[in-house]
A and B are shown apart, each in its own frame.
Chain A
Amino acid sequence: MMSGKTEAQASGSFMQDLSKVLRQNIRDYGMYIALFVIMVIFAITTNGIFLSPRNLSNLLNQTGYIAVLAVGMTLVIVIRHIDLSVGFLAGFLGAVAAIALVQWGLPTLFVIPLVLGLGALAGLITAFPIAQLGIPSFVASLAGWLIYRGMLQLATEGTGTIIIPDAAFNAIGNGFIPDVPLGGPFEQIHSLTLLLGIIAIGLFIYNDLNSRKKKIAYGFEVLPTAIFALKLIFISGIVGWITWVLANFNGLSWTVVVMLLVVGIYHFITTSTVLGRHIYAVGGNPEAAELSGISVKRITYIVFGSMGMLSALSGILFASRLQSATTTAGTLFELDAIAAAYVGGVSAAGGVGRVTGSIIGALVMTSLTSGMNLMGVGISYQYIVRGVVLAAAVIFDVATRRAAR
């Protein structure tokens, strides 16, 4: 009797806790829930094809070149700016990479850093009128949009599409990490992928437990134990499932490796370093940041420089995936990246937004495209649906922020 009652109470309070946590953190969890719902819907409407190993692997690879842009764009929006030039900059730099490989015969290992450097330079050039003269970034980067579009066409004018025959370069967009052959029951399975996935889950659980312990030691608010456990299980489960699915196909692709590296590095910079704190301070209140000894100009250059470099990376991923540079490469990338950042919870008012959120935002947007393609939805309807999802995400964000106040 007694124990039954206690259990009922406990489960009651668990549900209460859960709904409280969800309500309080709805902004942070909203996009994960959205992604989950979208995946379930497409799994049903495509009779499971959407969740097939081949499609999921494809989906992640397609997300790559938008995801890296979204990471950079997140920081640009955090400091209250925008960069429209990134799409055609990516396209143009992809063409430069192709020309360097094909026409100049330069080795891949030289071309990639070269193009990344050019991208960073282009970002600094965009930042110059913004930081130095106070020109609105919308205008400065719109000029870049036009200029890089023109330069992309110039670069591909003579030859049209430039086919890239370099196997190493093309592996970035199409290849998979090598396997460690284990044989036996693992013969059919990409064991390195599986191993990496298990390590990732282990690290995640260890980290989260550790930070929770510290927070408790400091007397900070932490999630109730049951909810915390649920969160660990849920996230580990998803990572584990994705790992399993990929391991049953070709394993981790290089694109996903690049994407994870970019997210990891940017996540670390934004959450743990002085630079990251300064970026969010500038976004939160530029005047206060300046008076605290932070150079707003310097931060503007750094953020746009990083955006340019990530545009170059996006261009490389895209050119490598198509194994060629085309005259229309990069078209609308900037809008996909901006949409991904907003769906991922970045705030136009500045100072708020996580790079991890933007990756989820990018996954949401690519899942929509991929799922609707599988369903055979026409391209016109696809645009409309994506527009509605973007609007809904931003309305949701604003509404939850108002409720939190």
Chain B
Amino acid sequence: MTTAILEMRGITKEFPGVKALNNVTFSVKRGEIHCLVGENGAGKSTLMKVLSGVYPHGSYTGEIGFAGQVQQFRGIRDSERAGIAIIYQELALVPELTVYENIFLGNEVRKGALIDWNETIKRATQMLAKVRLDVNPEAKIKDLGVGKQQLVEIAKALSRDVKLLILDEPTAALNEGDSANLLDLLRGLRDQGVTCILISHKLKEVIAIADSVTVLRDGQTICTLDAHEGEVSEPILIKHMVGREIEQIYPPREHKQPGAVVLEVRDWSAYSPSLGRQVLRNVSFTLRKGEIVGFAGLMGSGRTELALSIFGNSPNYRIEGELQLKGEPRQLRRPSDAIAAGIAYVTEDRKGNGLILIQDVKQNITLANLRALAQRSVIDANAEVKIANEYRTTMNIKTPSVEQRVSNLSGGNQQKVCLSKWLFVKPDVLILDEPTRGIDVGAKYEIYTLMNSLVDQGMSIVMISSELPEVLGMSDRVYVVASGRITGELSVSEATPEKIMELATN
């Protein structure tokens, strides 16, 4: 009988207003590959941050037992010293340094006060052999593909004598060949005695490699399945992942016969020169008047990229394909073109690229359509205040005045400011990217009600959402996106969480 290397008991972690983890129990046996699955927001990353000390001891309740001892990590350094290594989706390598410098970064091989480069290169070569990576240790990281970079990360972890290796979505950015390679390597490491926790959305992968699977949902442990004792299949996992009752948090919505096609995108492909990869492949979809079309999929599946590429292509992708607005082919070269053509895009990242946090509510609301308030380019300050106050009332933005800085508003009210700004441009097509991310249930309901009334008035809405209940509760039609492609189109009557999950994890 193998013993547990990791025992997390009764872990509860609260953020202001949210219980991210609620009495979670998580146990990993020595020498196994243990997969952790769950929807976005289920608490997987939070749990791993508790484990690795990103959230230090004291900021959560519960107990962590690792390698036979109760651990109280105060930071990442403590957990690293104990033998835990985490590899995140966004790799933590220095692009301009060489492979061997990266492997031993922060853990340099010393000879007195100096670095012993010869020994470093020798050991790096051994580590690379261990992860079966055939590259010159003197190559620079930026010259390697993502798959190889991932292996360098693992080599870096192994160089520190790691006992427990945690990989967060390691294959999200990899192609199939590289993914298969990586999984093979993990099996090899397991046979050498390294315990491994794998967080993955790709259930096929999970089933192929896992010795055990733990499912988290809404910050709670739902179950731990042993692949060697019982059956672990995709339907079973999906049922556990989405198995909650969908509460009545969506305003009633009748699915009317939609009108004429407003937006049509055909064979839309986009290549990102800065990422050096194809982000969208042959995407085609239509949007009709008075319709809410949901775009479901996992994070990083390419939905935001699709929205940005349509909305004037601000990331400067190389785009192929055709875009038609009301039957007319259009070229939208910059966001101002898209706005002029009647498209609005409400970002998923309102603090990053949605709001100007140091400016006030009225300045944010009017920013995208200042010319409507200006005569000969001079802003009518009274009209601006009037418009801002109108939105403040109709959108129920809770703020002492429209001269309040938006950084002082709560997330839900900030989102309402974002929405007001884009409603003020009077668009025909409204693209909402994760419209309710990080906001409370009350504000969510208000936003859903608003969406319904907007489509009743003839607007068309594209709603990108990672929350399945939201997609199912609000959409007339659903497209599922995975790896930059549309993998399925479902009407609301045929869409189920299981079907969407299956298409999204394809």
Contact = CB atoms under 8 A, between A and B. Distances in A.
A294 B334 CA distance: 9
A274 B354 contact: no
B357 A292 contact: no
Contacts of A285: 353, 355-357
B268 interface: no
B379 A220 contact: no
Interface stretch (A64-72, A230-238, A276-284): A276-284
B353 A288 contact: yes
Given A287-B352, A288-B356, A291-B353, A272 B363 contact: no
A293 B335 contact: yes
Given A221-B403, A292-B367, A214 B314 contact: no
Contacts of B311: 291
A284 B359 CA distance: 8
Interface of A is mostly: helix
B503 interface: no
Given A220-B401, A285-B353, A277 B385 contact: no
Contacts of A278: 370
Interface string A247-279: 000000000000000000000000011110110
Interface in B302-330: 311-312, 314
A61 to B, nearest CB: 32
B266 to A, nearest CB: 24
Nearest to A276: B379
Interface string B318-348: 0000000000000000111011100001010
A218 interface: yes
A290 B314 contact: yes
Contacts of A227: none
A214 B381 CA distance: 10
A119 interface: no
Contacts of B339: 292-293
Given A291-B347, A293-B336, A274 B356 contact: no
B356 A294 contact: no
A59 interface: no
B62 to A, nearest CB: 33
B353 A221 contact: no
A292 B421 contact: yes
Nearest to B388: A218
B371 interface: yes
A26 interface: no
B314 A288 contact: no
A284 B358 contact: yes
B379 A272 contact: yes
A283 to B, nearest CB: 9
Contacts of B352: 287-288
Contacts of B401: 218-221
B356 A218 contact: no
Interface residues of A, number: 26
B259 to A, nearest CB: 27
B257 interface: no
B378 to A, nearest CB: 6
For A285, A287, A290, the residue with the greatest tally of chain B CB atoms inside 10 Å of its CB is A285
A295 B371 contact: no
A271 to B, nearest CB: 9
A351 interface: yes
B373 to A, nearest CB: 8
B295 to A, nearest CB: 18
B403 A220 contact: yes
A100 interface: no
A352 B353 contact: no
For B338, B356, B371, B385, the residue with the greatest tally of chain A CB atoms inside 10 Å of its CB is B356
A291 B382 contact: no
Contact of B359 (A220, A273, A351): A351
Contacts of B335: 290-293
A302 B403 CA distance: 28
B374 interface: yes
A294 B336 contact: yes
- Which of under 10, 10 to 19, 20 to 34, or 35 or more describes the interface residues of B? 35 or more
A3 B398 CA distance: 41
Interface in A315-368: 351-352
A291 B371 contact: no
Contacts of A281: 356, 359, 363, 367
B334 A295 contact: yes
A289 interface: yes
B370 A274 contact: yes
Nearest to B366: A277
Given A273-B379, A294-B336, A280 B359 contact: yes
B393 to A, nearest CB: 13
A275 B368 CA distance: 12
A295 B312 CA distance: 11
Nearest to A347: B358
Contacts of B367: 277, 281, 288-289, 292, 294
A274 B352 CA distance: 23
A274 B347 contact: no
A274 B374 contact: yes
A207 to B, nearest CB: 13
A214 B345 contact: no
A168 to B, nearest CB: 33
B377 interface: yes
Interface in B37-68: none
Interface string A208-230: 00000010001111000000000
A279 to B, nearest CB: 12
B417 to A, nearest CB: 12
Given A281-B367, A291-B314, A292-B421, A272 B381 contact: yes
A277 B335 CA distance: 18
B479 to A, nearest CB: 23
A218 B357 contact: no
For A277, A278, A351, the residue with the greatest tally of chain B CB atoms inside 10 Å of its CB is A277
Contacts of B357: 284-285
A275 B353 CA distance: 20
A397 to B, nearest CB: 14
Given A221-B401, A274-B374, A351-B356, A292 B368 contact: yes
Given A288-B356, A295-B336, A277 B363 contact: yes
For A214, A293, A351, A352, the residue with the greatest tally of chain B CB atoms inside 10 Å of its CB is A293
Contacts of A289: 356, 367
A139 to B, nearest CB: 18
A290 B311 CA distance: 11
Contacts of A287: 314, 352-353
Nearest to B371: A274
A285 B347 CA distance: 14
A275 B374 CA distance: 11
B406 to A, nearest CB: 10
Contacts of A275: 377
Given A288-B352, A351-B356, 18 more contacts: A214-B382, A221-B403, A272-B379, A274-B378, A277-B379, A284-B358, A284-B359, A285-B357, A288-B353, A288-B354, A288-B356, A290-B314, A290-B335, A291-B345, A291-B347, A293-B335, A294-B367, A351-B359
16 contacts: A214-B382, A273-B374, A274-B370, A274-B371, A274-B374, A284-B357, A288-B347, A288-B352, A289-B356, A291-B311, A291-B335, A292-B368, A292-B421, A293-B335, A293-B339, A352-B358
**Nearest 8 A-B pairs (CB), nearest first?**
A287-B353, A293-B336, A284-B356, A292-B368, A293-B339, A285-B356, A274-B370, A292-B367
